[in-house]
Amino acid sequence: MKCRSVPGRLIAAFAVGLILLADVFSKRWALTHLLSGGAREGIKGLFHFRFAWNTGVAFSFLSDKPVIVILFTGVILTVIALFLFLPKRERLFDRLCLSLIFAGGLGNLIDRICYGAVADFIEFSFVSFPVFNFADVCVVLGTCLYAARMLIWDKRKGGFH
């Protein structure tokens, strides 16, 4: 289903705003309740909350290059914003996927600029995996959904198959 430009852009802007607010509030909670140390149980056996600063990107990659990370993130977010908000007829699903990616990336960029690092606080209990945050979940979810849509889209028929 294609959405008209203005309503689609408004929906995207609203989604970005909601996601960004959820990210900011979740990080504020983590800073208030977890920064002093220690962990809090989330869902037993699945995840818990433990605060960690991340100066890099995924898996602390480029930890020693904060300016490059900020510039690269800014370029990527600008490209995504063009797809989100330019008056093109984009599918609503695509705009929502891009909204997840954009808001998550923007939330982490705000952390990098304000704190010099990203506030991470969610850690799996059942497997060794880096600590992450709500913005990371949004970026990964949006990317996976968008990639899945692109993989199953049949351009010849103009729909899903």
Tell how strand 118-124 and strand 153-154 pair up: unpaired
Quote the pLDDT of residue 150. Answer: 84
pLDDT in tens, 111-154: 999 999 999 999 998 888 889 999 999 999 999 999 998 888 75
Quote the pLDDT of residue 83. Answer: 87
Query: Helix, strand, coil % (nearest 5) of the chain?
Result: 60, 15, 25
Q: What span, in angstroms and rounded, lies between the C-alpha atoms of 56 and 72?
A: 12
pLDDT in tens, 66-105: 778 889 999 999 999 998 888 777 788 999 999 999 999 9
Quote the pLDDT of residue 7. Answer: 83
pLDDT above 60 (res 159) = no
DSSP state of 91: B
Q: Which helix (H) or strand (E) holds 119?
A: strand 118-124
136 is catalytic: yes
- Concatenated DSSP letters for 27-83? HHHHHHHTTTS-EEEEETTTEEEEEEEE-SSGGGTTTT-HHHHHHHHHHHHHHHHHH
Catalytic-labelled residue, pool 23, 94, 111, 120 = 120
Dihedrals phi, psi of 160, to nearest 5 degrees:
-75, 155
pLDDT in tens, 3-56: 455 688 899 999 999 999 999 999 999 999 998 877 888 889 899 999 999 887
pLDDT in tens, 19-32: 999 999 999 999 99
Q: What span, in angstroms and rounded, lies between the C-alpha atoms of 144 and 58?
A: 15
